[in-house]
Amino acid sequence: MRMQGPIEVRTPEIQQTSRPFKRDNESEETYRLKWAAWEWLYTVASCRNIGVEVRLEGPGGRVVDLAAVGPGNTVYVVEVKASRSDFARDDHTKRDLAALMSQRREYVARTGLAKDTLVQAAAFAKKVCPEAWLEVDAYRQALVGYRRMVWKERAHKDRVAAFSIKFHDDRFMGIADYHYIIAPRDVVNRRSLPPLWGLLNDTPRAVVEAPKKPVRKNTGIVSNVLRAISRSNTTSMMRAQGALFTQDGAEFPIHSKASDPNGG
């Protein structure tokens, strides 16, 4: 009997798949963490309704990286933090926001002073050089100073508007039973984890279990979350198929349109 050599066991190669739901401004690390969180929500939390970039109803209509609904209408929120700077942007308290807002009065006062200086410089320039007062150095310098202060005041206003206290906001914490952060090991640890948040690593595994919060829910609230997930997934699928979203609505790719039987 002819002896056969050892049987070669071939493991299927993992093909490099496309990333149909990856956003243009999203890093590979963020995309990877999102799918790791999705895996945990599906396999561990037993969620069967999961969405990414979900705009939840409620305070500010905030967008969360992942939202999911599991058994017993349990609502989960997962925030993805791929870097320390990304984590720090949301790790502010109400006291931090109050301190930033308190600076507004100073910016308004300095802008007002710069405006008064500009008015005085214009009057002086018109007096000494009526025909070319716009070219007088005193006026030009005052104009530069005024524009600089207007820019600084506007920048401060924009910073206040974009200032996030998400991790410490009681209203935001009231939209789900469980809140988790998923991040690489060197980005967030137990010591830096905000109160009432759980921590997932990228294996994915729960490093710190999130405490269940006494969230007041009814069927209407759960329905809103489910609708938000559905809207998000619909948008993601359309983007993956090449649809473009403009101010006038959605523009579908040509390949999705039926061909004209008349050859038109």
Query: What pLDDT is recorded for position 2?
Result: 43
pLDDT digits (tens, 9 = 90+) for 21-53: 777 778 899 999 999 999 999 999 999 999 999
Query: What pLDDT is recorded for position 13?
Result: 41
**CB proximity list for 37: less than 8 A, separation 6 or greater:** 65, 66, 78, 80, 180, 182, 200, 204
Backbone angles phi and psi of 5, in degrees to 5:
-70, 175
Model-wide pTM > 0.85? no
**In 3D, which of 224, 241, 226, 260 has the Cα closest to residue 59?**
224
Residues of the chain with pLDDT under 70: 1-20, 57-61, 216-219, 243, 245, 255-264
Query: What pLDDT is recorded for position 57?
Result: 62
Residue carrying structure tokens 């890093």 = 27
pLDDT digits (tens, 9 = 90+) for 175-214: 899 999 999 989 999 999 999 999 999 999 999 999 998 8
Q: Where are the beta strands (DSSP E) in the chain?
A: 49-55, 63-70, 74-80, 178-182, 198-201, 205-208, 244-246, 249-251
